[in-house]
Amino acid sequence: MKILKMAKENLDLFVSVLPAFGEVYAPLKRGKGYVFDRPSRWSDVQLKYSRTMLPPKKLMLPPREMTFAFDPEKGYQDSLTEASKPMVLFGVHAYDIYGLNILDRVFAQAKYPDPYYIARRKATTIIGIDFEPDEKHCASSMNADFVDHGFDLFLSDIGDEYLVLVGTSRGDDILIMSNCLMHTPTEADIEEYKKRSKSRRDSYKVHLALEDLPEILEMEYHSKVWDEFGKGCLSCGSCSMVCPTCYCFDVYDEVDLGSRKGQRIRQWDSCLLRTHALVAGGENFRHARSSRVKFRFYHKQRGFVAEYGRPSCIGCGRCVDVCPAEINIISVIQSIRGERDVKPSNSSASS
Amino acid sequence: MVKTMNEPKAVLIIDDDSDFVRAIRTLLEASGFKVRSAPNGRDGLQLARTSQPDLILLDVMMTERTEGFFVLQEIRRIPELSKTPVIILSSIYSDEPTFRVDPDAGWLPANLFLAKPVDPTRLLTEVTRLMNESALVKSSSEAVRR
């Protein structure tokens, strides 16, 4: 892997060459949180951010998208051209890149490749940046605090400079264009990188044991813990909306009244919502809230391990951030392991 | 915004150097152009939206060192301004030894990159040329629509 370095004071100039590779999205402050959006000036870009409210998933798999329009006269018109518009995602944390790598397995490498996702992913340049974990991150427990692929360039803070790791030939093209800003790192720079890498690993406040978790989940399938979480869950679906690796979606047609024209829409869905497992005839396979909470965690921590060899959680802490009932990856794993009591913040009916 | 045939062509200068703006304004007005100006990117974008100039002269280093680059991206996102000719006038690649933008690199959606200090004759030639080209494109696309 090619590695160079760049002075931090030149980062604004570096970002100025990125429009050559697509529309630039970067972490910006929005209210009390952060979002990936298009900066209108360099000072809007936040390099020291905890996590964005929505993960980069929103740009690869938009919350609501038209996949194609249909018309008896014009036939089908898909939205692949729009999806192929070049984009640069600047300042993505390692766990979010890991999240995209997981989505790749589902949408690009699985049995039924998704052309819309693949078009966006191919047209997107990813530039990663390292981060300091806070009390909600558990990316190291999920082995997602470091990535070795899935990015074009990755910037690692070594003081007054960034080490720039090149991940792809497109990343190399960016460096050729900004060649005047790049220098060869010294041995001292590499030492500094290693020192900071260890310090970041040591600074995680949350440590979760995953080793035998699939087996423990198997043993605890009928545990009362799920009922307790079911009492607390509001079925709002916030956890799956902000999750970088939740990818359930619904598909429906919007037909123009009085004609045979219309659009096929794909929209995010959530297994926490009551209608997720509702089928024709009124049968609901996961009517109880407890079963929906359980389903989500079994899919992430057990089903995904069986299918892809690793859990799909990447430890970003977004579910910790948003769940009003404090049901999140940390509280669930610790409770199912018997390391803490379940404390539902809400208890009412069970559906 | 509807413009009549005889209305003078409008140029918007977005630059924080008031002396430079005054000099360019004098030069352009003497050649029959109508000139507006804004001292930073944000005001410049606002003015560009409302006045829809025929050409924009854009500085890079204003409140921020790369402000003009971001302003240019914004300009290209606004449908009414997406085809407006933009000339970047900047000393960024002559005064900044750590960063040299190749004016011919073509990585910015600008029509032209001119280094400051600007040669007045060259500037006038380029402003006129780009405006004529833009008018030609506009009239031919209108003809196609008709």
Looking at residue A347, its pLDDT comes to 46
Using an 8 Å Cβ cutoff, are A231 and A347 in contact?
A: yes
Q: Percentage of chain B surpassing pLDDT 70? A: 82
Select from A287, A297, A298, A291 the least CA-distant residue to A230.
A291
Task: Find the CB nearest A13 among B66, B73, B74.
Answer: B66
Q: Which CATH class is domain B10-145?
A: alpha beta
How far, rounded to the nearest angstrom, does the alpha carbon of residue A295 sit from its chain's CA centroid? Answer: 20
Give Cβ neighbours of residue B73 (< 8 Å, ≥ 6 apart). Answer: A19, A23, A24, A38, B109
Rounded to two decimals, the ipTM of the complex is 0.78
Domain boundaries, chain B: 10-145
CB contact (8 A) between residue A180 and residue B99: yes
Select from A25, A102, A31, A28 the least CA-distant residue to A321.
A31
- Mean of all residue pLDDT scores within chain A: 93
| pTM for the structure as a whole | 0.89
- Whole-angstrom distance, CA of residue B120 vs CA of residue B118: 6
Domain boundaries, chain A: 3-202, 213-246+272-336
In the predicted model, residues of chain A with pLDDT beneath 50 are 346-350
Look-up: residue for tokens 């995904």?
A304
Give the Cβ contact number of residue A14 at 10 Å.
25
Give the Cβ contact number of residue A299 at 10 Å.
17
Query: pLDDT per residue over B22-48, tens digit each?
Result: 999 999 999 999 999 999 999 999 999
Using an 8 Å Cβ cutoff, are B87 and B56 in contact?
A: yes
Residue B136 has pLDDT above 80, yes or no: no
Query: pLDDT per residue over A72-93, tens digit each?
Result: 999 999 999 999 999 999 999 9
Q: Percentage of chain A surpassing pLDDT 70? A: 97
Query: pLDDT per residue over A214-262, tens digit each?
Result: 899 999 999 999 999 999 999 999 999 999 999 999 999 999 988 899 9
Question: In chain A, which residues touch B (CB < 8 A)?
Answer: 7, 10, 12-13, 15-17, 19-20, 23-24, 38-43, 177, 180-181
